[in-house]
Amino acid sequence: MNHIKKVLVVDDSKLARLTLARLLKGRGLDVVEAESVDDGMTVLNNEPIDAVFMDVMMPEKNGFEGLSLIKN
Q: Where are the alpha helices (DSSP H) in the chain?
A: 14-26, 37-46, 63-71
Instruction: Please tell me the pTM assigned to this model.
Output: 0.89
| Domain-located, residue 1 | no
Domain that holds residue 64: 6-71
Q: Can you give the pLDDT at residue 37?
A: 94
Q: Can you give the pLDDT at residue 2?
A: 63
DSSP 9: E
| Domain-located, residue 41 | yes
The total of structural domains in the chain comes to: 1
Q: Can you give the pLDDT at residue 1?
A: 44
| Domain-located, residue 10 | yes
Per residue of the chain (72 residues), give pLDDT as tens. 468 899 999 999 999 999 999 999 999 999 999 999 999 999 999 999 999 999 999 988 988 888 888 888
Taking the alpha carbons of 58, 24, 15, 38 in that order, is the dihedral positive or negative? negative
Domain CATH for 19: 3.40.50.2300
Taking the alpha carbons of 65, 69, 71, 72 in that order, is the dihedral positive or negative? positive
